[in-house]
Amino acid sequence: MITSNAKQKPLFYSDDLIRDEIWKAILRYEEIRALGMESFSISVQNGLVLLTGHVSKKYHRALMEEIAITQPGVHAVHNDLVVDSDLTLQIARSLLKDERTCQFVLPVGCVHGWIRLGGEVPSHEVQLAAEEITAQVPSVRGVLSRPKVIGEINETDRQPIQPQIHAKTYDYNRQEGVVTQVVIQPCNRLVTHAVVSANDFCDGKFVFHDYLVPVEAMEVVNKESVLLKRNGPPLNTFPTFELSDCPLAPLDWQPPYPYSVETVHWPLERRERAKSELNFS
């Protein structure tokens, strides 16, 4: 939805200044500060504000739009914020429409776009189907838990880890790199690896390498940085990234917030499976 500011005075405000002022205004509201600043983002281009990410309530979505449109220099607001309750309903409908899952009671929990599926199912096939149906909803950030298979122990919830593009990456040997891309498993929309570009000193000169670092090797992940585990291997011992092993995601696939499709790769086996399914159909 786009809201315009027809009363805006014709003064010049830089996009960076507009963005900073919107953030300042938003952070005055305690209920928004409590949402988690990594769940949404604000960008500005030529006075057009884009709100993206996830919020808990429709009230938060409307409030952030109202705050943005009233700031000096803002011409219009494009509000792409996804509300948890709307996403929950969309997933529940998808599960009810699919013949593989429609007969089961599968509660859906959603917090800032992260999904937890409850209930019990008779087989791993149905469990996987519920996960994939959920992950096909474009606004889902990731599926953290799946329905329990009857007679089996509950699975451990996955962690919501999203290394940010351009985040500085450090190991405990003080080697430094930068996250340039990520690998995402499309069946649950979770990041499995980060591609970290680092420069090594080799044969008297610096050489850049792209390392494939699994999220399990990360101890701290935030908006600015990634810190590898203290007792884990150093950065330059991880496998080098090969495009042939992790091809780019399809351009028509919508990656989870906060990624853009040009920075996302799929595991090779999932890409080949998608091709075979397409050919079969």
DSSP symbols for 17-79: HHHHHHHHHHTT-HHHHTT-GGGEEEEEETTEEEEEEEES-HHHHHHHHHHHHTSTT--EEEE
Our CA angle for 256, 258, 259, nearest 5°, is 70
Secondary element (H or E) of residue 87: helix 84-97
φ, ψ dihedrals at 90, nearest 5°: -65, -40
- Per-run averaged pLDDT (10 residues), the chain, 281 residues: 56 88 92 82 95 95 95 95 97 98 97 97 98 97 97 93 96 91 97 93 76 96 93 92 93 96 87 43 37
For residue 86, the SS3 value is helix
- pLDDT for res 2: 62
pLDDT value of residue 277: 43
CA–CA distance, 55 with 279 (Å, rounded to integer): 38
CATH class of 2-82: alpha beta
Closest CA to 131 of 188, 185, 92: 188
Residue spans in the chain of domains classed CATH 3.30.1340.30: 85-149
pTM for this entry: 0.87
Provide the pLDDT for residue 223.
86
Predicted pLDDT at 246: 93
Give the class (CATH, top level) of 85-149: alpha beta
User: From its phi and psi, is residue 148 left (phi > 0), alpha (psi between -120 and 50) or beta?
Assistant: beta
